Structure 1
Amino acid sequence: MELEKLNVKDKVSEAEWQQRVDLAACYRLVADMGWGDLIYTHISARVPDSDTYLVNAFGVAFDEVTASNLVKVDLDGNVLDDSPFAINPAGFTIHSAIHQVRHDAICVIHLHTPATIAVASQQQGLLPLSQYSMFSLPSLAYHQYEGLAVNMAEQQRLQQDLGDRNHMLLVNHGALTVGPSVADAFMRMYDLQRACEVQLLIQSSGQQAIPVAQSIQDNIYAQANLVHSGSTGGQKAWPSLLRKAYRLDPGFMD
């Protein structure tokens, strides 16, 4: 049974269309990385110069997402532009909460990867055991588990816990990153995911980790800004990632 095909390119602004293409590519890349969870996680991006955002249709797999079948919603969760699709209620609770208060968070990525759930569920959380972890730690927040994210009262606590930080581990649940573009949010998730994977590998080895000097921990975020030519390196890496998404399936641009 084929998914209904839509074509909205001629119905939206050029800026919105480019945001749709970047967001659809992000979904395809997350699927290729093996970070998906069937239809149960979500990535959103604000429509430029508006109080609306784009998110995946509930029931559409990440490797089926296209620029046209992304759903546009307002901050109250109303589906706009006569889209035939609905959205995940839990996705609305989380993403709208952040888009409401973080106007710099153009893109919000929330995933349920085994590695991030495992580290988020440890008492000590993420540890400074690798270069990847030190990219995330200076801007890392935690949010305690409250069950399925369908209680609107949780939004305020989520907002308070995230504050002005860009990485979050949701205890017993997964991970979240935000960024000023899809590219930056993706690279932040890449670093956080890798940090969690490395931590679990070190812990499973049974060997004691070599400590990193605090002076290095304090300086590495500034070094990363210099090397990446930006806070995440997203803008440098994104063109190659778009080419990869195109090689996987150019249909994401439909």
Structure 2
Amino acid sequence: MDDIERALRIDLAAAYRLVALYGWDDLIFTHLSVRIPGPDHAFLINPQHLMFEEITASSLVKIDVEGRPLDPGSPPTHPAGFVIHSAIHMAREDAHAVMHLHTPQGQAVSAMAGGLEPLTQTAMLVRDDVAYHAYEGVATDLEERARLVADLRDRSSMILRNHGTLTMGRTVAEAFLRLYFLERACEAQVMAGTGGSGGLTSPPQAVIAKTAEQGSKGLDMAANHLAWPALLRKLDRIDPGFRA
């Protein structure tokens, strides 16, 4: 293991612990992954049997684009996680990290005909970068990979209809910050829908477009240099075992 892979393992393990900390996990049934630099598109993903708060840097499994473990004696991984994540890692050179969740709020918005609405600043910041993919059942069909990629196009976030949320990034930090904003936007939308009969408001279209443009700028600084280092400091205070 070289220094690059070691650093990626630590970042990805941290992301798993943070997902658990925020209550976004779904027992053992969703996945976060990161691609290891190199021509073979090998990537790291969670072993199927561990809860997210148990994930450590050394417990992550390295697999190839066919889903085969690359290290002897590796534990099994989940087929659905392999299908979704390998599709995006293979198709997008900028998709070094991919994160997918099944939160109640993400699933709720994924089932709404209008998808993510411009009801909050957070939603407006990310909404123009969100793609949609129709539900095809549990993602174990390799042929679905092409349709996932076609629906994602050049966007960095996706709502999987009747399923959940997904984000990608050049780094674990970028994918996680996109995931944070998308999940917060979905949560706020669901909460707004329970607010009674007073109706909902959204700004004029020009303001929505302005906010979307603002959201497309500054991700590198916000994620890699501000939010992610702060999140790592938080984990080191309360849950430092992820580095093992």
Correspondence 1:72-221 to 2 at 5 A:
72-206=62-196, 207-221=198-212
> Partners in 1 of 2:35 and 2:200 — Cα distance?
41
How far residue 232 of structure 1 moved from its aligned partner, in angstroms, is 7.6
4+ runs deviating over 6 angstroms? none
Could you say which residue in structure 2 is the equivalent of 1:19? 8
2:243 matched to 1:249? no
How far residue 201 of structure 1 moved from its aligned partner, in angstroms, is 1.1
> Partners in 2 of 1:17 and 1:48 — Cα distance?
12
Report the TM-score, using the length of structure 2 for normalisation: 0.95
Residues 188, 232 of structure 1: 8 Å contact kept: no
CA displacement 1:93-123 (0-9 Å, x = unmatched): 1000111101101100000000000001011
Which deviates the most, 69-78 or 215-224? 215-224
How far residue 248 of structure 1 moved from its aligned partner, in angstroms, is 2.5
How far residue 223 of structure 1 moved from its aligned partner, in angstroms, is 2.3
Q: Percent identity?
A: 46
> Partners in 1 of 2:238 and 2:72 — Cα distance?
30
Residues 224, 231 of structure 1: 8 Å contact kept: no
> SS where residue 233 of structure 1 aligns?
helix
> Partners in 2 of 1:119 and 1:173 — Cα distance?
9
RMSD: 1.3
Could you say which residue in structure 2 is the equivalent of 1:38? 27
Correspondence 1:64-75 to 2 at 5 A:
64-75=54-65
Which amino acid in structure 1 is aligned with residue 206 of structure 2?
A: S
> Partners in 2 of 1:26 and 1:231 — Cα distance?
17
> Partners in 1 of 2:38 and 2:121 — Cα distance?
35
Which amino acid in structure 1 is aligned with residue 205 of structure 2?
A: Q
Residues 107, 162 of structure 2: 8 Å contact kept: yes
Number of equivalenced pairs: 241
Which amino acid in structure 1 is aligned with residue 24 of structure 2?
A: W
> Partners in 2 of 1:117 and 1:222 — Cα distance?
26
> SS where residue 39 of structure 1 aligns?
coil
Question: What residue ranges of structure 2 are gaps of 5+ in the alignment?
Answer: none
How far residue 142 of structure 1 moved from its aligned partner, in angstroms, is 0.7
Question: What residue ranges of structure 1 are gaps of 5+ in the alignment?
Answer: 1-11
2:238 matched to 1:238? no
> Partners in 1 of 2:221 and 2:84 — Cα distance?
23
Which amino acid in structure 2 is aligned with residue 30 of structure 1?
A: V
Report the TM-score, using the length of structure 1 for normalisation: 0.91
> SS where residue 138 of structure 1 aligns?
helix
Residues 125, 216 of structure 2: 8 Å contact kept: no
Match of 1:52 among 36, 42, 48: 42
How far residue 231 of structure 1 moved from its aligned partner, in angstroms, is 5.4
> Partners in 2 of 1:125 and 1:222 — Cα distance?
20
How far residue 49 of structure 1 moved from its aligned partner, in angstroms, is 3.3
CA displacement 1:16-47 (0-9 Å, x = unmatched): 10000000000000000000000000000011
How far residue 164 of structure 1 moved from its aligned partner, in angstroms, is 1.0
